[in-house]
Amino acid sequence: MQRNNGKLVELPREGIALIITDIHGNLADFKKFMNIWGSFEDEEDNHLILTGDFIHAMGLENDKSVEILEYVKFKYENSKNFHVLLGNHEWATLSNKALFKAGVNQTYNFDELLKEKFQDDCKQKLDEYIEFFKALPIAVRTDNRIFISHSGPAHNIHSLDEIANITSEGYDNPQLLEFLWSRKDDFNKQVLKSFLEAVDCKMMVVGHTPVDGIKVVYKNQLIVSSSYGKGKKAYVELDLEKEIKRSKDLLKMVKYIK
Ligand SMILES: [Mn+2]
């Protein structure tokens, strides 16, 4: 059985987990991934993991953040196998913090999108979305020892308990901030190694940094760009039953959309 331990989801050694990252308001790509999930979701051991940053269009003209958010929220609330993790963009809206990307304040743009769509009800909608974001976990750990999150690692996280309780002091705290924003240049090999030891995992899978489909960092972190990235659009069809020892084992489970 899967177990929800505070902000941490733990998945058993059964079935498949699809890992999809950084949709950033791209409805066409999102629909492709939902079609793929459609052929997995009837099996109760299968899981979908959306690793955050599904809102905020990053300069894309046709921002479908609201349509995607409504769908994601519905699926999350009605299916125990549809996992949604908090990204730094959902965090920015939840915390009402400006987030400049592609020359525009993405948080402000999202508020404007809500005004346009919901007019007098926009404040109520924003509150509803903030409640939803606050309910989201921030990481998944699988029994075959893969750690999945929006970004990371963080040097100031020392155990799975700290992950489970990472928002107990609120959302504006140094552990969560480092964890949600960390990129390759923010950590070294040793920080990654220590983090993986602390959470008892072999490898971690993240989104957050735009790459050409995938990139392996310090042998033990796989960065995946499923939609917003630098070219190819990748996802992971993670076999939850297989033993995964090194990046080579995980790379066999990477797939692409056109
Ligand atoms: Mn991000």
Residue 28 pLDDT? 97
Q: What is the pLDDT of residues 61-75, one digit of tens each?
A: 889 999 999 999 999
DSSP state letter for 178: H
CATH number of the structural domain spanning residue 121: 3.60.21.10
Q: How is 135-174 classified by DSSP, letter by letter?
A: H--SEEEETTSEEEESS---TT--SHHHHHTTTTT-SS-H
Q: How far is the CA of 102 from the centre of ligand 1 (A)?
A: 13
Whole-angstrom Cα Rg for the chain:
17
Q: What is the pLDDT of residues 152-189, one digit of tens each?
A: 999 999 999 999 999 999 999 999 999 999 998 999 99
pTM: 0.97
Q: How far is the CA of 181 from the centre of ligand 1 (A)?
A: 7
Q: How far is the CA of 150 from the centre of ligand 1 (A)?
A: 7
Q: How far is the CA of 40 from the centre of ligand 1 (A)?
A: 26
Strands 82-84 and 100-101: unpaired
Number of domains in the chain: 1
What average pLDDT does range 83-104 have in this prediction?
94
Q: How far is the CA of 53 from the centre of ligand 1 (A)?
A: 6
Q: What is the pLDDT of residues 37-64, one digit of tens each?
A: 999 999 999 999 999 999 999 887 889 9
Q: How far is the CA of 21 from the centre of ligand 1 (A)?
A: 9
Q: What percent of the chain has pLDDT over 90?
A: 95
Residue 194 pLDDT? 98
Q: How far is the CA of 142 from the centre of ligand 1 (A)?
A: 22
Q: How far is the CA of 147 from the centre of ligand 1 (A)?
A: 17
What is the extent of the structural domain holding 82? 3-257
Is pLDDT at 102 greater than 90 in this prediction?
A: no
Q: How far is the CA of 244 from the centre of ligand 1 (A)?
A: 26
